[in-house]
Chains A and B, each alone.
Chain A
Amino acid sequence: DTAVSQTPKYLVTQMGNDKSIKCEQNLGHDTMYWYKQDSKKFLKIMFSYNNKELIINETVPNRFSPKSPDKAHLNLHINSLELGDSAVYFCASSLGTGAQPQHFGDGTRLSIL
C-alpha cells in the first residue's frame, strides 16, 4: 500500500504544452506539499495545503496552479511549459504543518523538449 502516490512517474512533453501531476495520500494526513527538485538536488517548496486551504504559496510562476479537491489529494497543473520547468516534482504529506515529519512520493520527472 503506497502511502503517497504520484502519477505519472515520468512526463515528457514539448514547450508550450499544459500538463497535470496528481498526488494522493492514504495516511490520513491533513497537510500536503509540492516541491521542485532541480538537477543539483536542491529541494524547493512550492505550495502547501492544510485541510484544503492554501497555506504556502512560494515565489512560483502563476503558470503553476495547485488544486486540492479533498485532504487526501493535491494536484499540480502547469500551463505553457518552459524548458526551465524540467525537474523532479515531489508531493509530500504530514500530520499538521511543516514542523512535523513529511512523507514523500517517489516523484514525477518532468522533461521539456
Chain B
Amino acid sequence: AQSVTQPDIHITVSEGASLELRCNYSYGATPYLFWYVQSPGQGLQLLLKYFSGDTLVQGIKGFEAEFKRSQSSFNLRKPSVHWSDAAEYFCAVGAQRGSYIPTFGRGTSLIVHP
C-alpha cells in the first residue's frame, strides 16, 4: 500500500530564509505526487504536482519541489520565505492504479519568525 511520511511536525524559519520541507513516499511504481498548503481556517490549496517528466517542478507562490526516485522523496523548497507562508503543508501521493484512495502525509506546520 502507498504511504507518505513527513518527518517534521513543525519547522521554524526566519523571514527571508530558505525553506525545505521533507516528504518521503512508499509506492510500487512512479507516483503522482502533490504538495498542498492549508492556511488557518481554510481548506487545502494545491501548490504543485508531479506526474512525469522534469523532476524539478515549479508551483505557485514561488515554491518548487524535486522528485528523487532513488531517495523516494519529493521535498518542497522556497528560496526566501515570507511571513504569509506560515501555514500547514501536506504532501500527498495519488491513488494507485485500480484504487481510488489518495494518501496524505500528516502535515508540517511552518512557523515564520520576523
CB of B43 within 8 A of CB of A4, answer yes
- Which one of B15-23, B74-82, B88-96 contacts A? B88-96
Chain B: which residue is nearest A31 at the CB level? Answer: B100
Q: How many residues of B contact A (CB 8 A)?
A: 23
Question: When A and B form their complex, what is the total count of cross-chain residue pairs whose Cβ atoms lie within 8 Å?
Answer: 59
What is the 8 Å Cβ interface bit string for chain B, positions 10-32, against chain A (1 contact, 0 not)?
Answer: 00000000000000000000001
Chain B: which residue is nearest A97 at the CB level? Answer: B100
List the interface of chain A (C-beta within 8 A of B).
4, 31, 40-43, 45, 48, 50, 55-56, 58, 90, 92, 97-107
A101 cross-chain contacts in B, Cβ below 8 A: 34, 46, 49
Q: Is B55 an interface residue (CB 8 A)?
A: no
**Chain A nearest CB, measured from B70 CB (Å):** 23
B38 cross-chain contacts in A, Cβ below 8 A: 41
B84 cross-chain contacts in A, Cβ below 8 A: none
CB of A41 within 8 A of CB of B107, answer yes
